[in-house]
Amino acid sequence: MPAVSSSATRILGIDPGSRLTGFGVVDFEGDRARFVDAGVIKTGNGELSERLEVIFDATRELINRHQPDTLAVEQVFVSRNAGSALKLGAARSAAICASFGSGIALAEYSPREIKRAVTGTGAADKAQVQQMMRMLLSLDTLPQADAADALAVAVCHANASRLSGALAAAARRA
Amino acid sequence: MPAVSSSATRILGIDPGSRLTGFGVVDFEGDRARFVDAGVIKTGNGELSERLEVIFDATRELINRHQPDTLAVEQVFVSRNAGSALKLGAARSAAICASFGSGIALAEYSPREIKRAVTGTGAADKAQVQQMMRMLLSLDTLPQADAADALAVAVCHANASRLSGALAAAARRA
């Protein structure tokens, strides 16, 4: 994998789950997006704490390997039952904790913001997100669903950063 | 603080919460318990991710300072609403993640197991747990409620370890 150029921004997107945690690494330079890596962290069938260790270690490894500028994490959907919310909150926390001490920025987006950023609608289904990621990043094959969601978090953050950058530039000109 | 003797076991108990996380460090040697440290980690009013960083860093600092053999964590009470469960699961995960890589053991107990271990009843209230910890550990003052709960997790783990040790010894003799 070529090193990221100095003007590009590298984003590690994470779609946390206690069983399957998607990840996606994308470089952005202006309007161009370049795929770097994506996949799914499978946490196995152990105790929750063992699964948290898998997420924590794997996320830390991804940060060390890819040196992203920002970790962008999908916010958790809270309208589930309390038991699911507890595990999902724990999985998300493990990914976030893996970034502490590394000096990288942290950004969080709701599932609705992410879908809207990558498909134009907050109600897109998983298959639409997979198709969009394949097209946008010129992938040969459809990314796995959780990996596609993680790539979408990265794209959502790049869009949000560009927008806030453009607004700041407009404010300076005004 | 004197160093822990070689035959003693040092336990760091954690009672996680997204606003207040109690901690307690106790040395156990046979039936004797010795208080080492206790207090409350206040996570402030920031974003959840900022509060998770406070818990993660503070727990890591406690592990480095006290070198416990085991981190014993209160399991989360899941019958709350999904929003509370999400935050509580995340707080608990941050404390657990702080132990990864340190080589210390992890143990988890439900609130009911902890109360039963330290007061003889699974339905004890917070004030009873505080009184029991003050007596058991010969403290001059009543520990703060979250710190008392954390000390109780440590005591619960020591009891469980002694019981399993006694059972293993009985099995060897049988």
Asked if residue A62 lies in contact with residue A72, where contact means CB atoms within 8 angstroms, the answer is no
Residue A155 lies in a domain: yes
Within 8 A by CB and 6+ apart from B33, the residues are B26, B27, B136, B137, B155, B158
Stretches where chain B sits below pLDDT 50 are 1-2, 4
Residue A2 lies in a domain: no
CA proximity to A30, closest of A7, A12, A10, A11:
A7
- What pLDDT score does B123 carry? 77
Domain residue limits at A168: 9-173
Contact call for B82 and A82, based on CB within 8 A: yes
Residues of B serving a catalytic function are 15, 74, 146
Q: Measure the CA–CA gap between B75 and A128, rounded to whole angstroms.
A: 38
- What is the arrangement of strands in the sheet containing A20-29, beginning at the earlier edge strand? A32-42, A20-29, A9-15, A70-74, A105-109
- Number of independent structural domains in chain A: 1
- What pLDDT score does B5 carry? 52
Asked if residue A129 lies in contact with residue A96, where contact means CB atoms within 8 angstroms, the answer is no
Which residues does chain A have within 8 Å of residue B90's beta carbon, measured at their own beta carbons? 89-90, 92-93, 96
Dihedral-angle region of residue A103 (phi above 0 means left; psi in -120 to 50 means alpha; beta otherwise): left
Contact call for A83 and B85, based on CB within 8 A: yes
Which residues does chain B have within 8 Å of residue A77's beta carbon, measured at their own beta carbons? none
What does the DSSP 8-state code read for residue A69?
A: S
Token digits of residue B97: 């993640």
pLDDT class of A118 with cuts at 50, 70, 90: confident
- What pLDDT score does A1 carry? 45
Across residues A82-86, what is the average pLDDT? 85
Q: Does B155 touch chain A (CB under 8 A)?
A: no
The CA–CA distances, whole Å, from A3 to A6, A9, A27, A157, B73 equal 9, 11, 10, 21, 42
Q: Would you say residue A124 has pLDDT above 60?
A: yes
Contact call for B85 and A90, based on CB within 8 A: no
CA proximity to B91, closest of B132, B122, B52, B140:
B52
Residues of A serving a catalytic function are 15, 74, 146
Q: Would you say residue A5 has pLDDT above 90?
A: no
Residue B36 lies in a domain: yes
Contact call for B52 and A93, based on CB within 8 A: yes
Residue B4 lies in a domain: no
Q: In terms of CA atoms, which chain B residue is nearest residue A76? A: B86
Q: Does A61 touch chain B (CB under 8 A)?
A: no
Q: What residue type is A60 in one-letter code?
A: R
- What pLDDT score does B30 carry? 80
Asked if residue B160 lies in contact with residue B107, where contact means CB atoms within 8 angstroms, the answer is yes
Q: What is the pLDDT of residues A59-79, one digit of tens each?
A: 999 999 999 999 999 987 666
Residue B76 lies in a domain: yes
CA proximity to A111, closest of A146, A144, A82:
A146
Q: Measure the CA–CA gap between B170 and B154, rounded to whole angstroms.
A: 24
Burial of A106 (0-12, 13-18, 19+ CB in 10 A): middle
Contact call for B89 and A88, based on CB within 8 A: yes
Residue B37 lies in a domain: yes
Q: Would you say residue A84 has pLDDT above 90?
A: no
Assign residue A154 the CATH number of its domain: 3.30.420.10
Q: Measure the CA–CA gap between B154 and B24, rounded to whole angstroms.
A: 7
Residue B167 lies in a domain: yes
Q: Would you say residue A106 has pLDDT above 60?
A: yes
- What pLDDT score does A31 carry? 78
Which residues does chain B have within 8 Å of residue A80's beta carbon, measured at their own beta carbons? 82
- What pLDDT score does B60 carry? 97
- What pLDDT score does B166 carry? 65
Residue from A21, A49, A87, A102 whose CB has the most chain B CBs within 10 Å, to mutate: A49
Residue B1 lies in a domain: no
pTM: 0.85
In our burial notation (b when 16+ CB lie closer than 10 A, e otherwise), range B37-74 reads ebbbbebeeeebbebbbbbbbbbbebbeebebbbbbbb
- What pLDDT score does A6 carry? 57
- CB half-sphere exposure, B35, CA atoms < 13 A: 21
Q: What is the pLDDT of residues A14-39, one digit of tens each?
A: 999 999 999 999 999 887 899 999 99
- What pLDDT score does B118 carry? 85
Place of tokens 């340190």: B102
- Residue A12's SS3 state is strand
